[in-house]
Amino acid sequence: MQSGKTIQICFILILVSQAAWSQTCSVGQMELEGSNLVIYYDLMGKAATPETYLIQLFSSHDNYGHSLKHVRGDIGIPQSAGSGKRIILNILDEFGANFEEKVNFKVKASVYVPFINLNKEYTKIRRDKAYELTWTGPKTNEPLRFELLNNDLKLIDLPSSAVSESHYSLKLPRSLRLGDSYRIKITEGDSETKVAFTQVFSVLRKIPLSLKAIPLVVVGVAVIVTSGSGSSKSNQLPDPIKP
C-alpha cells in the first residue's frame, strides 16, 4: 500500500445455500500483506452428503452489487468444505491506487449446481480428434464459453458455442501436452453462477505409438516372405570353404 493511505476494514459473513442449516461457515483472521488482504475462513458441510460451493467476495464499495474480480485462492467454483481456506484480494488492483475509505466485505457461499447436465463423459480424449459433447438443461440466452483447465488452472479458450445449441464439437489442439487432470469448464456468457464442468480426463496421442510401429513390422515380414519365394536352389546355402 502507498504510504499515507489507510483502509478501514469491516467484515460481514453470510452463508446462502439451498439447505443453509446443513452448513456452517466462519471467518478466522484477516491480514494485510502489502496491497493484499488475506481472509481466512472455514466452511463445514455434512460429511454424509458432500457438496461443492460457489464462493464469492463482495464489498460495500458498490453496495455489494458485483463480486470482486482481483481475487485468488479458495474462491469461485467449485470449492469443497474444509478448514483453513483463504481468499486473497489485491486491493490496489480492485479499487485503484488512490483508494481510501471504510469498506465492509461480505463472503457469499452457495451450493454449486451445474446449469446443464452433460449426457456423456470422456475419461480419455485424443488430441486432434473430434468428440461430441451433448447436454440437457434450459436453453441459454448467451453464447457458451469453453475453457480448457489443467489442475483447475486455465490453459486456453476453446471456440465458443452459438446460443440455444445443446451440443458442441470438441477437438483439442495437436500441440497440447499429454497427461492427466484436464477438464473443460463451460460458462454461459460472463455468468459466475451458470457454470458446468466435464469430469477430469487424460489427454492422449491421436495415434498410439504401438499402432505407429505396425507398418514397420509388416514391411519386415514382407521382406522375409519375398526372400523365400525363389527356386529351391537359390535357397540353399553354399558349402563351407574347405581349408
First to last CA, the chain: 97
* Three-class SS state of 59: strand
Retrieve residue 94's grid coordinates.
480492485
The predicted pLDDT at position 52 comes to 87
Let me know: does 207 contact 167? Beta carbons within 8 Å: no
The predicted pLDDT at position 242 comes to 56
The predicted pLDDT at position 8 comes to 53
The predicted pLDDT at position 1 comes to 45
User: pLDDT digits over 87-144, tens only?
Assistant: 999 988 999 888 777 888 888 888 899 999 999 999 999 999 999 999 999 888 889 9
User: pLDDT digits over 18-66, tens only?
Assistant: 344 456 667 778 888 888 999 998 887 665 556 888 999 999 889 988 9
Let me know: does 200 contact 207? Beta carbons within 8 Å: no
Let me know: does 229 contact 222? Beta carbons within 8 Å: no
The pTM is what?
A: 0.71
Residues of the chain with pLDDT > 90: what percent? 40
Highest mean pLDDT among 42-51, 75-84, 94-103, 160-169: 75-84
Let me know: does 100 contact 6? Beta carbons within 8 Å: yes
Mean pLDDT confidence for 188-210: 90
C-alpha to C-alpha distance for 162 and 230, rounded to whole angstroms: 65
**CB neighbours of 200 closer than 8 A, spacing ≥ 6?**
180, 181, 182, 183
Q: Is 114 exposed, middle or buried (0-12, 13-18, 19+ CB in 10 A)?
A: middle
Retrieve residue 181's grid coordinates.
487432470
Would you call the peptide bond into 240 cis, given omega within 30 degrees of 0 as the criterion?
Answer: no
Mean pLDDT confidence for 199-212: 86
Residue 223 predicted with pLDDT over 70: no
